[in-house]
Every structure is written in structure tokens, then in C-alpha cells.
């Protein structure tokens, strides 16, 4: 009788597990959180879309950049055996701290203060608050929390990196932005998550803090096999922009009014034909772009409060084009070879992040930097003193810079 009871109990557990699972790794309880039956579709507004003509900046083109820079702040990142930075993916700046996601162990997080003093590198492992398969990070300014997205979970930390809690996710994605009231998730085309059913093709997902999937937008029904950007979501204060993999449209999302707008469409010649994006393998795209003079936008974009910056790639020439646009005048300047005035500023023409009205770039320091930049009229005496202590094996230096109106 005991054996029969035990076997019956095991069978009950097995049936319970099976009935709580859906296709994939999500339970029925998780899927219920999404409230998919109430999810609505947002269509981007296109009435105010601006066409950005990038043709004048193609080819081998030098442009005046040094004359545009009117303010520079140098922040060397403290270098020790715990703070070494390995390939920067993302830089988030707050009033007190700088958060860097790098390539350490396929995704690491470091914290520095605003002077570059090392605070912490997050540990990797399977324990509470440890990193494993990290995909993205963002900062929740309303609650003063760093949010890390890794496989199946959101991890929450206080501003100095102390672990607070984690939440299991009912869906997968590539990038996230935290808003005051919820999350914005961005995915690539034809991803997994079959439990999303007819919402599966949408690449923009807008959810509440409880993961109710309120809205979806921007469907992509063909799987793209081509280069991709690290991120397709860009947040700077209340400015939230999004792009797509190998698309030329840049969207603006207003989290307060829940409006999605097509803001820019990039116009340029020699675009890689779309047929090379949908090959059987990635090699189709690679061969086409290495053997032909094609340009393409992988999804990179930044904006400060005063300027936008656009990027194009060309695998044939192995050159990257950057184009700055002034929001007030609409004027643009760019190319692939920036005239920097090397005795005035470091090589910073290709930014990696933004903070308010500053672009953020990095450069690799050298013991010769001070000799080159000591007479700069753009760099402050305080920052020159920092540069004086540069060594060849130091961490990358962060440079926050503003451009004048042009």
C-alpha cells in the first residue's frame, strides 16, 4: 500500500509539472502574468518623420571635428587587478556613479565613482546576485537601482552594487530600458518564446513592472542573419529612442504619453540589398559586404539634448562613418576621418554613450599623452594633471564632451 501511495504521489508530481509547463521553459503561472489577451498593438506615427541624407558624407571623407568641441571632461578609470576593463559594451552615468558593462566573462559589470575611483566589479557564479549569461543593464532613476538582465531573470542592485532581489522573467529579449512605470524590451526577429503566439513577431515589447505585456510594436517576420548592434534601445533622461537590426528608421518613444513616432529615416546610396540579410547562414551577408562597396546601418544611434549622431558601416572599405546633426539648426557634419587637432583633444570622434548634453567616448591612454596635450586650450589644468599620470597599460580613459551649436 505504501509503495502504491508513493508511486501515485510521484505520478501526481509529474502530472503537476507537465500541466504547469508550456512550450519552452515558462510555467503557466508566468505566462498568465503577461495577460496576452489584453495586449494591444501600437502603430508608429509617421507624420513628422525627417529624412536624413547621408550621401554627402560617404566615401573617404575628412571632417572638421576639433573645432566643434567646446568642453571636455577627462575621467581616467582607476587601474588595479580588480578593476581591469575588458571591451566596453555600455556606459551608464548618474550624478554619483559610472556603470560599465564590459566583455569580462562574456558580460561583466563595474562601478566607478564620477572621478573614476573604482568601487566594485560584480562577481560571476550561480549564487544570489552573481552574474551568469549577462545580456544588458539599465538604471532605474526613480528607485535608484541598477537593473541587470541575465538569462531568465532581472537582478536588482542598489547604487553601489549591493544585491537586493531578483525577478524571474516570463519572456526573453535582447535589451531593456527601465521607465518609471515599467520596462521596454527590444528583441531581434524570429526569436523563441512560442508562448507569445501572434505577439512573437513583434520586436518592441512594453510591459508593466509586474510584466504584464501592455503593448507590442514593430513586427519583423523574417529572420535576419547579419551584423547586429549591441543595443537597439537608447535612453538619455526622458529621451528614449530605438532602432532595429539593419533598418534605417529611428523611432522615438514617449513613456508618458505612450506614443511611438518614426523620427528619422536614413537615406544613402549603395545600401546593401535586403536579399543578403536573409541568407541561409551569416556567410551570405559577410561575402556580399566584403566583396561590394555597400553601406549599412546596424542600429547604432545616440542623442544628447542638443545633437544626434548617426553611424554607417562599410565592410568593403573597412571604414565607419559618423555624422553629427545639430537639433536646433538641422546642420550636419561627418565622415570617416575626423580632424581632431591632436594637440587639443584626444581621439574622441566616435562616441560610445551619452549623458545629458555630453557625448561619452573612450581612448587608450599612453605615457606620452601629457606631452602631446599639455598646451591644450580645451582641456582644463585639473584634467591635464590627470593625464600627466597616464600609463601605457592603464584602463581606458572616459571623455565627456560637448559640441557647440553648428
- Compute the distance between CA of residue 404 and CA of residue 131 in angstroms, rounded to an integer: 40
Q: Give just the sign of the alpha carbon dihedral 293, 297, 298, 303.
A: positive
**Bridge partners, 240 (sequence order):** 235
Q: What's residue 151's pLDDT?
A: 85
Grid coordinates standing for 85? 576593463
Provide CB contacts within 8 A for 166, sequence distance 6+. Answer: 128, 129, 153, 154, 155, 156
Q: What is the pTM of this model?
A: 0.92
| Residue 34: HSE in the Cβ half-sphere, 13 Å Cα cutoff | 23
pLDDT band at 19 (very low <50, low <70, confident <90, very high): very low
Give the CA-trace dihedral at 48, 354, 179, 30, to 10 degrees: 110
Q: What's residue 5's pLDDT?
A: 39
Q: What's residue 27's pLDDT?
A: 86
Secondary structure E strands in 58-210: 62-64, 69-76, 88-93, 97-102, 108-113, 118-121, 134-140, 145-150, 153-158, 163-168, 175-178, 182-186, 202-208
Q: What's residue 188's pLDDT?
A: 85
Residue 215: is its pLDDT beyond 50?
yes
What's the chain's Rg over C-alpha atoms? 23
pLDDT in tens, 346-371: 999 999 999 999 999 999 999 999 99
Q: What is the CATH number of domain 53-403?
A: 2.120.10.30
Q: What's residue 190's pLDDT?
A: 65
pLDDT band at 16 (very low <50, low <70, confident <90, very high): very low
Place of cell 559610472: 98
Whether 244 contacts 203, CB under 8 Å: yes
Mean pLDDT value of segment 206-223: 95
Grid coordinates standing for 33? 502574468
Nearest C-alpha neighbor of 395 from the set 71, 82, 122 = 82
Between 235 and 342, name the one with better pLDDT: 235
Residue 2: is its pLDDT beyond 60?
no
pLDDT in tens, 20-56: 454 467 888 889 999 999 999 999 999 999 999 999 9
Mean pLDDT value of segment 162-168: 98
Q: What's residue 24's pLDDT?
A: 62
Mean pLDDT value of segment 317-322: 97
pLDDT in tens, 100-112: 999 999 999 999 9
Residue 137: is its pLDDT beyond 70?
yes
Q: What's residue 352's pLDDT?
A: 98
Q: Where are the domains of the chain?
A: 53-403
SS3 234: strand
Angstrom CA distances, 71 to 68, 83, 354, stand at: 9, 27, 14
**Bridge partners, 396 (sequence order):** none
Provide CB contacts within 8 A for 225, sequence distance 6+. Answer: 277, 278, 279, 280, 281, 282, 284, 285
Look at 190-199, 249-258, 392-401 and tell me which has the smallest mean pLDDT. Answer: 190-199
Amino acid at each position: 500500500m505504501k509503495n502504491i501511495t508513493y508511486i501515485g504521489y510521484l505520478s501526481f508530481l509529474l502530472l503537476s509539472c507537465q500541466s504547469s509547463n508550456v512550450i519552452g521553459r515558462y510555467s503557466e503561472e508566468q505566462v498568465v502574468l503577461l495577460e496576452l489577451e489584453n495586449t494591444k498593438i501600437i502603430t508608429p506615427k509617421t507624420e513628422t518623420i525627417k529624412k536624413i541624407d547621408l550621401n554627402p558624407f560617404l566615401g573617404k571623407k575628412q571632417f572638421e571635428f576639433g573645432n566643434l568641441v567646446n568642453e571636455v571632461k577627462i575621467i581616467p578609470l582607476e587601474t588595479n587587478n580588480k578593476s581591469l576593463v575588458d571591451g566596453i559594451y555600455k556606459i551608464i552615468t548618474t550624478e554619483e556613479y559610472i556603470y560599465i558593462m564590459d566583455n569580462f566573462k562574456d558580460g561583466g559589470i563595474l562601478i566607478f565613482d564620477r572621478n573614476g575611483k573604482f568601487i566594485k566589479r560584480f562577481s560571476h557564479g550561480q549564487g544570489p546576485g552573481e552574474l551568469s549569461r549577462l545580456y544588458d543593464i539599465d538604471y532605474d532613476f526613480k528607485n535608484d537601482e541598477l537593473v541587470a538582465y541575465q538569462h531568465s531573470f532581472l537582478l536588482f542592485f542598489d547604487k553601489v552594487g549591493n544585491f537586493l532581489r531578483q525577478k524571474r522573467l516570463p519572456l526573453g529579449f535582447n535589451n531593456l530600458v527601465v521607465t518609471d512605470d515599467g520596462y521596454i524590451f527590444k528583441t531581434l526577429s524570429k526569436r523563441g518564446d512560442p508562448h507569445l503566439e501572434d505577439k512573437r513577431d513583434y520586436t518592441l515589447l512594453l510591459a508593466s513592472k509586474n510584466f504584464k505585456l501592455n503593448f507590442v510594436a514593430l513586427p519583423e517576420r523574417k529572420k535576419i542573419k547579419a551584423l547586429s548592434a549591441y543595443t537597439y534601445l537608447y535612453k538619455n533622461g526622458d529621451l528614449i529612442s530605438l532602432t532595429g537590426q539593419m533598418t534605417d528608421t529611428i523611432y522615438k518613444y514617449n513613456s508618458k504619453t505612450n506614443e511611438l513616432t518614426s523620427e528619422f529615416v536614413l537615406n544613402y546610396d549603395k545600401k546593401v540589398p535586403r536579399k543578403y540579410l536573409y541568407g541561409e547562414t551569416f556567410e551570405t551577408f559577410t561575402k556580399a559586404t566584403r566583396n561590394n562597396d555597400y553601406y549599412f546601418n546596424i542600429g547604432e544611434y545616440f542623442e544628447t539634448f542638443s545633437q544626434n549622431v548617426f553611424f554607417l558601416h562599410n565592410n568593403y572599405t573597412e571604414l565607419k562613418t559618423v555624422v553629427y546633426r545639430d537639433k536646433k539648426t538641422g546642420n550636419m557634419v561627418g565622415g570617416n576621418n575626423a580632424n581632431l587637432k591632436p594637440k587639443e583633444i584626444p581621439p574622441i570622434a566616435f562616441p560610445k554613450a551619452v549623458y545629458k548634453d555630453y557625448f561619452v567616448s573612450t581612448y587608450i591612454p599612453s605615457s606620452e599623452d601629457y606631452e602631446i596635450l599639455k598646451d591644450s586650450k580645451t582641456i582644463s589644468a585639473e584634467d591635464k594633471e590627470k593625464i600627466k599620470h597616464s600609463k601605457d597599460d592603464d584602463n581606458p580613459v572616459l571623455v565627456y564632451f560637448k559640441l557647440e551649436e553648428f
